[in-house]
Structure 1
């Protein structure tokens, strides 16, 4: 099925009416519109939100990014909205691919984004390309085979004779032998998952290079059956020394099969859909970068959950989970990430800050820092937010810092003026 691709940014608006398309609004088919509404109904039951219906003729996307493919053949590529102005889609796609690779801890040598800019194709083509290249390297090194016990009835002797069954052989069939023997076959969980992922890529690939490579590799795996229980086969994926050369392809296989939960949200479509909450990608990327800047003796705890807002009936209630918690001996520092664009010049609108976020940070400060020290809110650096804001004071002993994180250089701005045990020299994720 040929796909019609639509490229927008997060929070874009979609409609069935004829409009001039750009990154913030686009026209889709009525069938795709209805399918998105049904998909949102399924997500809504799980507490997630994908789209919001406006006046029955517009859909507003939420802050999920990635690729959606509808059953009617409409493909929607949703890119990060890093700046207010219309951005270069190639740069947004490169940023998104880097954040996905960082958040999912994909091998760095496989995450170069230069080839994303070589052709004007959606991000899904880059993901499929990485999977195909990793699978190609695996096949060149050799697929792992395994012995499998086969029990069958044959008119000749082979392997071991099952004497118990043979003695119960009825008259007229005594010329047939009950045999047990082992076959050296590639039918194992890892190969079955790779075959299933390759089948999906063969169906979804539109770019010529991916299409050709997928069908070339399919010839090597044609004797392997596809996985029928993805979850169970991933649980049985071996990681011993003999399977070390399979580790590079596994994350891409999980990505294609939609198993990178809870980051990825898989939709029920005919193609490959990859959706990621942008705030989660940002949080995971910041955590990975800061982990490479820790002083000796400092530990970083993502999503710490050791404190509660209050006690009720001698038990904690309303658990407090800051995104990042740093500990060095008895000292503790609380950092929280927010994927939102601030404006350092707009004092009247409080720079775009949320009062709810400040209440949240105050609770973190009272419980994790006993009402003393500094807390940090981290937002992405943009053209309108280039330097840390002046501190916000909760009390004489507790204040809140608001710092930008430079996604271009993987640098947290503001460390040089704070006692947090992190290196403030520029360190990229290559060193993390």
Structure 2
């Protein structure tokens, strides 16, 4: 089955005879794959996660989730961020830029160092789908782990032998009939590779062998499969993840754990245990953007303390107890002057020329920032909303709250995704 590449807010329809060619903004898939997406949509909606929106009997509209979805009929849909305009670049260039952005955001959100993210392989796979990039990181980490040495562990074994080894189980031996007195029920430890971490990695490798379509990935996966054939597969993935150990002796396993979770955990907005998910991974763009902005602020604002998701203030009291937390995305405070700035990130395209439509700003977002200004700053400093920089939003918008303080300002500033340092021009002016 073919692979499809779309972007946020794209439409997905059932293919029909003579239908247009699939594009980044509209994909035409088989009816069987479409029915599976409808089932997923119902499951997500039941749990409050909005990934798809029905736009007709045979059409779905995507929301702010990016990643990969695989259906039982082997249809694979890759969803990319939407931040490059098609009228300024050709479609292949847009795919390349948005894949690179998604990879960069995932490295930040998943707390990957440049070494763990496979800097060398990034260049080779920068034009490959997201799932192949993840598979590459997993295989590279697994190969490095084998070079360092796989950890063994002692496992308790109970068996019957004609010789004594370990500890004799006296009760069982005394209850044996005379004809079996030459057989010894024993219990002993075996030093082997059968431990939770290895079982999970081996199980993920089996998934990779089936899912990868890249020749280099397939070849390396088969080599690793032969080298680790003595490791059994996991019979209980969730239980084995709970037993995954950390520490100095297992430091080499820290790198591969994330990739194993991605392949076996199959990140989805809600749990769909018992149903087909394939190698499906979905990430909310709002959270990826928030983590990306916070990461670059920490790197560049050396004289500021940058914190995320603080919740020291509440908007109400109920029976003298605080209720309804106010939780801004980012809170920065100058180390010397103690100046505080509260920031929120919004993954939305703003148009500074659309004054009639209030630039695309939402009432709820502005009201939320007013609450932050009142409860966290007493209207003594500015609050900032950070939006992605686009052609129609390359300069800040400044508003004054309707209060007595002249310092109670709301600023909407652009964040240049390819050059994150440019945000400092607005914060430190």
TM-score, normalised with respect to structure 1: 0.90
1:418/1:103 CA distance change after superposition, 3 Å: closer
Aligned match for 1:115, one of 118, 124, 128: 124
Name which of structure 1's ranges 377-386 and 261-270 shifts more when overlaid on structure 2: 261-270
**Aligned counterpart, 1:54:** 55
Cα separation, 2, equivalents of 1:235 and 1:372:
47
Greater share of residues in helix: 2
Q: 1:276 to 1:198 in 2, by over 3 A?
A: same
Q: How does 1:27-426 map to 2 (within 5 A)?
A: 27-85=28-86, 87=91, 88-111=94-117, 112=119, 113-117=122-126, 121-258=128-265, 268-269=275-276, 271-296=278-303, 298-328=304-334, 331-397=339-405, 398-413=408-423, 415-416=424-425, 418=427
Report the Cα offset of residue 248 of structure 1: 1.3
| Structure-2-length-normalised TM-score | 0.90
Q: What root-mean-square deviation, in Å, do the aligned CA atoms of Structure 1 and Structure 2 show?
A: 2.3
Distance 1:202 1:392, change over 3 A: farther
Cα separation, 2, equivalents of 1:188 and 1:380: 45
What secondary structure is seen at the aligned counterpart in 2 of 1:152?
Answer: strand
Structure 2 CA distance for partners of 1:265 and 1:42, relative to 1, 3 Å: closer
**Number of positions where the alignment pairs a residue of Structure 1 with one of Structure 2:** 414
8 Å contact from structure 1 (residues 263, 277) kept in 2? no
Contact 1:307 1:368 in 2 (8 A): yes
Unmatched 5+ stretches in structure 2:
none
Look up the SS of the partner of 1:247 in the other structure.
Answer: helix
CA distance in 1, matches of 2:272, 2:416: 27
Q: Distance in 2 between matches of 1:412 and 1:170?
A: 83
Q: Distance in 1 between matches of 2:50 and 2:107?
A: 24
Contact 2:167 2:186 in 1 (8 A): yes
Aligned-partner Cα distance in 2 for 1:267–1:374? 49
For 1:266 and 1:291, the matched residues in 2 are separated by 37
Displacement after TM superposition at 1:202 (Å): 1.0
Deviation at 1:262? 7.0
SS at match of 2:306: strand
Deviation at 1:283, TM superposition (A): 0.6
Deviation at 1:172, TM superposition (A): 1.7
State the shift of 1:353 in Å: 1.2
Q: Does structure 2 retain, via aligned residues, the 8 Å contact 1:264–1:276?
A: no
